[in-house]
Amino acid sequence: MQKACFGAGCFWHVELEFSKIKGVTKTLVGYMGGKLKDPSYEAVCTDRTGHAEVVYLEYDENLVSYEKLLDVFWKIHDPTTLNRQGPDFGTQYRSAIFCYTDEQKEQALKSKNKLNKKAVTEIVPAQTFYKAEDYHQQYLKKRGMYTC
């Protein structure tokens, strides 16, 4: 299994979209990219911890490529809005790709450069992933919802 981590706004919607992909074996929502150890949702929402709401996923590279995951990432959010997705704003909603390998970074940069838009997506090394509270996990799926 390989792992990947993406920030694309509210993690509920992002998790739902990635969970639909054949080959994605696990999704968790949480926080990455900040300075506070073990942040809570309430702390991240203050926009002072530096964390992004992210989806960590594990995938079978024999069934889905990292390139395919990147394609989905670009399609499910607007990578041209700085620290904002729809009505949600703040650095926790930023567009970000957290790379676990140099190859992921290379592929992410290549895919970003292919866009015709001016993406503000940050592409950075993965840091510690902090799992969000249990009530956030599979939030939309548990409620029979298909979007935020």
Here the tokens at position 129 are 């992933």
What is the C-alpha separation between 131 and 41, in angstroms, rounded?
10
Q: Residue 67 contacts by C-beta under 8 Å, 6 or more apart in sequence?
A: 107, 111
Q: Which amino acid is at 47?
A: D
Give the single-character DSSP code of 69.
H
Domain 2-142 in this protein, CATH class = alpha beta
148 catalytic per annotation: no
Here the tokens at position 53 are 């709401």
Interval 88-126: pLDDT, tens: 999 999 999 999 999 999 999 999 999 877 899 999 999
Interval 38-82: pLDDT, tens: 999 999 999 999 999 999 999 999 999 999 999 999 999 999 999
Beta bridge mates, 30: 54, 131
95-99/2-8 β-pairing? antiparallel
Active-site pick, 10, 45, 99, 148? 10
Query: What Rg, from alpha-carbon coordinates, does the chain have?
Result: 14
